[in-house]
Chain A
Amino acid sequence: MFRELLGRRIIDRKIEKNLVEMSLIPSKYFEALYIERRTEIASPVFDLLEEEEKAKRGELIELLKEGIVDTKIEIVKFELYERLVAVTSSMKEVRVSITENKLRVEEEEYKELVNILKDVSKLGKIMYEMVRGLYQEYDIVEGKMENLRNMSKKITAHITKFRFHMDEEAEKFDFEDSNVLISNSIRESIQSMVDVGEKITGIIDEFDFNR
């Protein structure tokens, strides 16, 4: 009751800080992954970023639990958190799949996939700017969403081998193929970033007084 009376602004600010910081992790992670794969020098950054992501996720879940979690604004923040967790989970999947399947992919194809990581990092940066825009300036977000969509389309156009969800298309690919496995994980990561962007535009539609 004491917390109810004092209000939740301090908690809200901590949630904001953690969500914004957490949204920057995928961009840094893909950047590091790109550099590591290009240089073939093992980087300690992943451990640090994974630790940071784990800490932020833990802190956020505790902070989100502090509320009554049934006001609309708290629900949408939780949904945004879930989508960000989907991004961070998929980024780790990319690293695992690229590490495990590296030797089974042709060199040229591997290089192409690694180059895509650089663009995915940029996509992550746009996602981070959208999360920041959500909190600070709704107007920025609309343009960023356009960028996010266009860039994700551009990147996925380069990923030619991936698993289709539709059955007839799925038959075209061998799911044991290493290239398909890496491509799938990258596409999943890109899709999860677009999902974050769509969630943000949805939140703005709901809470912007000008709409």
Chain B
Amino acid sequence: MVDVVLVILVIASIILAFAIGTNDETFAPVVGVKRLSVRSAVIIGAIIAVFGAFLLAPKVSDTLNNDISTIQISNEIVLIISVFISMAICLILASIFGLPISSTEAMVGSILGLTIARGETIIWSWKGMGHIFFTWAISPILGFIGSFLLMKLMNKILSRTVKGLSGLETSNAISGSLLLIMVVIAGFSRAGNDISNAIAPIYPLFQNSDTSIFYQRIPMLLGGVGLGLGLIVIGWRVLKSLGNDVVELTPESAFITQASSALITLVATMLGIPVSGTMILVASFIGAGYGSKKTINLKSVRTIVIFIFLTPLFSGLCAVGFYYLLRGVL
């Protein structure tokens, strides 16, 4: 029976890792400025995902425990699988439409749905949902303002230094290279962080002091491969959509987008302000667009915003549905 549970958990983990990979927008700015083609970006992204997930130590100790409700999903396998499958469905569906969504949002929606369905209590205080709502409100604002101001500063510097097309091309080449380096680092770190969610339930099962380090790292490898496959099979849609549809990027504005979202995330983490990486990145795109006086495709932005609001609702309903279905089967 233990083996069956392990197999189910491994499959659920790989599916979630795959789903996270489908919605990985890290390489979108590089694709947006045509520094890499979508094909090259997904291949490099997949390689980085595998190495990042395998090499970086996972932080899985309390990933599946939460402070937003009295329900603790790590206590029941049915709860874990319901949350994982609903998250995976949300992420994959959004990716098929080419829309970046926050995996945290999907997870919170699932947990809240299950909390309500089981008649447990949602914690609305600052330590619970207050914290989450603050994150969702502050992330896009910080992302927008940060990239808007940095873009204005960058434009000022460029207007004084770039005198001709030759200078512009040099600036493009430098910005493009810096952008590529930042994206690779972000890809590594994201693979390490995001995989933690997916492999949380199976990671402890592989940690045995008698086994080799390679064996202990199998969950990360599985997660990395799942993430990489997700990026290759469906993830290109999100890269193409965010990189090309929302706003027309230049290497400079793409670099600002990536740099400001990394900077804001770092500063916010240091100050203890919770933020969402996806929301910051999407808002940074828009902020950099306004900062460089480029036309923003409001239709794409509106669709992304609608999906941001629908994600918790949809994942909550999915999680409840799967919870009752699995309870009947297992």
Contact = CB atoms under 8 A, between A and B. Distances in A.
Contacts of B158: 209
B37 interface: yes
Interface in A115-172: 133-139
Given A4-B40, A9-B170, A136-B163, A209 B155 contact: yes
Contacts, number: 57
Q: How large is the interface on B (under 10, 10 to 19, 20 to 34, 35 or more residues)?
A: 20 to 34
Nearest to B249: A71
B40 A203 contact: no
B164 A135 contact: yes
A13 B36 CA distance: 20
Q: How large is the interface on A (under 10, 10 to 19, 20 to 34, 35 or more residues)?
A: 20 to 34
Binding site secondary structure of chain A: helix
A207 interface: yes
A12 B169 contact: yes
B168 A207 contact: yes
Contacts of B166: 13, 16, 135-136
Given A1-B43, A70-B34, A210-B159, A8 B173 contact: yes
Binding site secondary structure of chain B: helix
B151 to A, nearest CB: 11
A189 B50 CA distance: 59
B173 A9 contact: yes
B177 A135 contact: no
A202 interface: no
A137 B165 CA distance: 8
B166 to A, nearest CB: 4
B172 A1 contact: no
10 contacts: A1-B40, A1-B44, A13-B166, A16-B166, A68-B34, A73-B168, A133-B164, A134-B165, A136-B164, A209-B155
Given A9-B170, A72-B248, 15 more contacts: A4-B36, A4-B40, A7-B35, A7-B177, A12-B173, A16-B166, A68-B37, A71-B33, A71-B34, A73-B165, A134-B164, A135-B166, A139-B163, A209-B155, A209-B162
Q: Which 10 A-B residue pairs are closest in the complex by CB-CB distance?
A: A209-B159, A9-B173, A135-B166, A1-B40, A209-B158, A136-B164, A12-B169, A71-B34, A210-B159, A135-B165
